[in-house]
Amino acid sequence: MIAHLAESLGYVFTLNVLLGIAAGIAVGYVVGAMPGLTSSIGMALLIPFTFSMDPIAAIAMLVTIYMAADFAGAIPAILVNAPGQPAAAVTAFDGFVMTQRGEAGKALSISLVCSLIGAFISTILLMVSAQAMASAALVFGPAEYFALAAVGLSLIAVLSTGSALKSLVGLVFGLTVVTIGIDPISGASRYLFHWSLIDGIPFLPALIGLFAVSEVFLMIEQGRKAMPEAISTRREASFRNVWPFRRTILRSSFIGYAVGVIPGAGATIASLISYGVAKKLSPTGDSFGRGNPEGIAASEAANNAAVSGALAPLLALGVPGSASAAVLIGGLTIHGLQPGPMLFANDPTVPYSIIIALMVGLPFMVIVGFIGIPLWVRMIRVPRPVVATVVISIAMLGAYASANSSFEMIVTAVFGVIGYLLRKADIHPAPIVLALVLGYMLEANLRRALIAGNDSFFAILSKPIAAGLLFLTLLVLISPLLARRRKA
């Protein structure tokens, strides 16, 4: 490994590759900060430009976009409640509340430092454990995915702030929405009023509507009220600031990496799980969702760690762990490199160059963030009507860009209204996001597991990992009840 690492170092430290990394950071920050434009779209758009580049530079650029986008996704989430990447929705839970309190600078700084730590730890983990973890990912079959989704959904018991009934309403609403479209197992149509719904409600436009557009409605409503006075635009990006959250950051980085490795789970689930766990374990867990910086730390460390995690099955098995990783396969193929079980054996410099490129890119991603924070914070001093106009324009543009289609804009608008009404009813978006992310995984895999087990639920319980996860689900669900009894 060391020999290959050393050889790869030589490939990465060339002008072409370093320029590729710089371009990757610039593009990554832009697509990451634009709600609706995900890293996978940004990477796909640049693939044609890589035709004439040398393979290592091309791939370094693509993975840098992937990581930088996750750094940037938190910026609009914190400033205007419009997550730039889906996973940043979790960051918005606390980040946007902090902005409303005038602590945008602090929130952005914490997000930046925790992103860095999460990305750094997970890249090290990727370097030492890619092959071992990738084989572990294969253990996840339908029964295990179903149980994992159940654990995720049970987090509602922990995530909910306030009324449990209202959280349940949000959860059921989300689960109902994901049943729209063609049934993944039998092919039957469900709530298919028009053929454009055949694939169901697209997740990203719905998310933009729930967060960003509903926020715009609130801004309009409060139009005459003054914006929060920013207490500090000073950047406070220092390790000392996040030192109190060191346990959470470390734990979230490991959770993020592990969840990222499981193909199909991805950064959003990593953020949600790590946020739920942090809330449960933190002494200040009660204030999660009300502007607790530790919530940002948990979310950001995890979603950046998930990026490296998703690269493990890609490099070791050729199995994409996420949409962006799938685009990366396309990028590699163009350069005659087929990721798969033979990549480490045939072209070992490719995986190691990717790892080194990520490491080289990290400090520059931090510098961009560090320089940018005071500028971005100034954004919220802009008069509210202007902010509202800009946010809704970007939200609609992003929705359109996510699939080049006006159908997505309709979804965003409709979910904006739904999100506004739910917020008026004091229903938190967290359970809805949870259901939208996990509903499909839960249903499709439960039904696959039942087909394989000839409709017997015991076939699922007979798998140790699935049984363990389902037991954990039960524990999480009854834990609030137990805690209440202890207090009484």
Partner 1 sequence: MAFLRTAAFAAAAAACAAPTSAQDGSGWPNGDVTYILHVEPGGATDVLARQLSSGMQQELGVNVVVENRPGGSGARQMAQLLRARPDGQTIGSVTASHLGMFEQTGQFDIDSVEWACNVILDPYLLAVRDDSDIESLEDLVAKAQENPGNLSIAGFGQNSGGQVAWMIFREAAGLEDGTVNWIPYDSVGDAVVATLGNHSEVVIAYPGLVRQHVEAGTLRVLGVMADERLDMLPNAPTYAEAGYDVNTNWQQFRGIIMPSETPIEIQDAVCDAVETIMQTPAMEQYIADAELVPGFMPPEEFRSFVDAQNELSTSWTQ
For partner 1, which residue of 163, 176, 196, 222 counts as binding (CB under 8 A)? 196
Amino acid at 326: A
- Give the other-Cβ count within 10 Å of 6's Cβ: 10
Among 68, 317, 418, 430, indicate the residue that binds partner 1 (CB under 8 A).
317
Question: In the set 9, 220, 250, 329, which binds partner 1 (CB under 8 A)?
Answer: 329
DSSP per-residue letters across 434-464: HHHHHHHHHHHHHHHHHHHTTT-THHHHTSH
Q: Return all residues near 3 (Cβ < 8 A) that are at least 6 apart.
A: none
Number of residues that bind partner 1 (CB under 8 A): 56
Which of 287, 294, 295, 280 shows the shortest CA–CA distance to 241?
294
Among the residue ranges 289-297, 316-324, 377-385, 426-434, the one whose residues contact partner 1 (CB under 8 A): 316-324
| Shortest Cβ 447–partner 1 spacing (Å) | 9
- Indicate the residue among 48 and 283 with the shorter CB distance to partner 1: 48
386 is written with which tokens? 């202007």
The values of phi and psi at residue 182, to 5°, are: -80, 125
List binders of partner 1 among 23-42 (CB under 8 A): 40-41
Of 53 and 114, which CB lies nearer to partner 1 in the complex structure? Answer: 53
Q: Does 176 bind partner 1 (CB under 8 A)?
A: no
CA distances from 400 to 37, 118, 397 (A): 9, 31, 5
Out of 15, 165, 193, 195, the only residue in the binding site for partner 1 (CB under 8 A) is: 195
Number of neighbouring beta carbons within 10 Å of residue 180 = 16
| Residue 333 binds to partner 1 (criterion: CB under 8 A) | yes
Q: Which residues contact 322 (CB under 8 A, 6 or more apart)?
A: 40, 260, 263, 264, 266, 267, 306, 310
Binding of partner 1 by 407 (CB under 8 A): yes
Rounded distance between C-alpha atoms, residue 300 and residue 287, angstroms:
18
User: 């959250």: which residue's tokens?
Assistant: 245
Q: Where are the alpha helices (DSSP H) in 179-265?
A: 203-208, 214-221, 239-242, 246-261
Residue window 222-261: x/- pattern of binding to partner 1, with contact defined by CB under 8 A: ----------------------------------------
- Least distance between partner 1 and beta carbon 432 (Å): 22
Stretch in the footprint of partner 1 (CB under 8 A) among 16-24, 238-246, 382-390, 449-457: 449-457
Q: Residue 190 pairs with which residues in a beta bridge?
A: 181
Specify the residue, 182 or 250, whose C-beta has the smaller distance to partner 1. Answer: 182
> Which member of 15, 240, 243, 404 binds partner 1 (CB under 8 A)?
404
Is 285 a binder of partner 1 (CB under 8 A)? no
Of the two residues 139 and 386, which places its CB atom closer to partner 1 in the complex? 139
User: Are residues 220 and 231 in contact, defined by beta-carbon separation less than 8 angstroms?
Assistant: no
The residues that touch partner 1, with contacts defined as CB under 8 A, are 40-41, 43-45, 47-48, 51, 138-143, 182, 184-187, 189, 195-196, 198-199, 202, 263-264, 317-320, 323, 326-331, 333-334, 336-338, 340-342, 403-407, 444, 448, 451-452, 454
